[in-house]
Structure 1
Amino acid sequence: MSSELQKTLDYVNAYRENRLKGAQSVLENPDYFTELIFACFDISNKNYHKACWVLEFVSYEKLEWLQPHLNFFCSSLKKLKDESAIRPIAKICQLLVTAHYKKSETIITLSETQLQDIIETCFDWLITDTKVAAKAYAMRTLYILGKQYDWIHPELQIIMTKDYANHTAAYKAVARELLKKIK
């Protein structure tokens, strides 16, 4: 990893302002982007979760920068185990799937293999002991994907209904919203 990107990630902390500064550094230096992607999934790097935080904020501005890296990104999703890394990556998955199907001004094209990687990982996040924010992003992502894959909504409905009583108010709010849309 370049010393400049490493310095940026060393400075980043959980404060939104610092994550934004880290993203701004990458936006101003697009050459850092490929390095940032690889840093997100280098779980031996002490800053890999910080790289994920920065990537989330970069993705809000330049989601299309991910397009050439989607094979690596999607095939690496399962590597993540740290909650601090999973949440921002789950949000990026939601952004990618939304852009793929909405055909918005940010054009993202996901292959069938990439979509399957996202589907599988989102279901894994839902059925494992992942924190609620990542589960909420996973549920929303799967809901969008369920419009194209008819088997997803019934499976998602089963999981949300089964887990409903055991979760937080935030989980319940997202589950209620999506269950209404599915029915």
Structure 2
Amino acid sequence: MNLLYNNLKYINASRQARLQAAELVLANKPLFPGLLKICFMVEDKVSVKACWVLEFVCKKNMEWLLGDIDYFIENIHKIKFDSAVRPIAKICEMLCCEYFGKNDSPVKKILNTSHLQKITECCFDWIINDEKVAVKAYSMQTLYLLGKEIKWIHPELKKILEIGFSSHSAAYKARARHILYQLNKN
């Protein structure tokens, strides 16, 4: 973990640097549990960089996260740095896209009701709280998907989006408009 931690200390936010760090982990699966632990060292700014890398690793190989899904889900609410919340929200969206997707996915076998409830709680917190637009957008999409199974979500999501619509940025409004259209179609 020390080697990975030291490597993460020196990466920057560029896509190339994040991808390079992710490639290191993807080439060395034993580094993955350490990466996950660093993500949730929430008082340490290096955790932000670990979250960036975790997102890239999960895009390439979501199955690695599934082995530690309980740990991941139990800790996502602890993330506090803005730059770390975005990739965690994106990973939650990716999990739900696979869970609710048409194709077979190991995610469908691993995620349980408790996991879905905790993701739901975090996403509602992220939409309601003062988070960046990207986090809110990922949360909207995730909640829309979750609402297909958890029936009370869609009415609550619709209410929150309608109330907050006028007070947010153009990017927020664009995503909210899309989600509201989907909700009204059903």
Native 8 Å contact 2:5 2:38 kept in 1: no
Partner of 1:4: 3
- 1:173 paired with 2:174, answer yes
- 1:144 paired with 2:145, answer yes
Deviation at 1:8, TM superposition (A): 2.1
Q: Match for 1:29: what amino acid?
A: N
Q: Which runs of 5+ in 2 are unaligned?
A: none
| Alpha-carbon distance between aligned partners in 2 of 1:43 and 1:80, rounded to the nearest angstrom | 6
- Mark the CA change 1:119 to 1:38 in structure 2 (over 3 Å): closer, same or farther: same
Partner of 1:50: 49
Once the two structures are superposed, the pairs formed by residues 1-183 of structure 1 within 5 Å of their partners are 2-102=1-101, 104=103, 106-108=105-107, 109-183=110-184
Deviation at 1:3, TM superposition (A): 2.4
Native 8 Å contact 1:94 1:141 kept in 2: yes
| Alpha-carbon distance between aligned partners in 1 of 2:84 and 2:37, rounded to the nearest angstrom | 13
Native 8 Å contact 1:64 1:106 kept in 2: no
Native 8 Å contact 2:92 2:119 kept in 1: yes
Normalising by structure 1, report the TM-score. 0.96
| Alpha-carbon distance between aligned partners in 1 of 2:68 and 2:90, rounded to the nearest angstrom | 17
Deviation at 1:44, TM superposition (A): 2.6
Q: Match for 2:143: what amino acid?
A: L
Native 8 Å contact 1:90 1:138 kept in 2: yes
User: Percent of counterpart pairs with the same letter?
Assistant: 46
Post-superposition Cα deviations, 1:38-76, rounded to whole Å, max 9, x if no partner, equal 111111333000000000000100011111111111111
Give the secondary structure class of the aligned counterpart of 1:89. Answer: helix
Deviation at 1:105, TM superposition (A): 5.1
Deviation at 1:101, TM superposition (A): 1.9
Once structures 1 and 2 are overlaid, which stretch shifts more, 41-50 or 152-161? Answer: 41-50
| Alpha-carbon distance between aligned partners in 2 of 1:105 and 1:63, rounded to the nearest angstrom | 13
RMSD: 1.1
Deviation at 1:107, TM superposition (A): 1.7
Native 8 Å contact 1:48 1:85 kept in 2: yes
Native 8 Å contact 1:97 1:144 kept in 2: yes
| Alpha-carbon distance between aligned partners in 2 of 1:45 and 1:104, rounded to the nearest angstrom | 38
| Alpha-carbon distance between aligned partners in 1 of 2:103 and 2:31, rounded to the nearest angstrom | 26
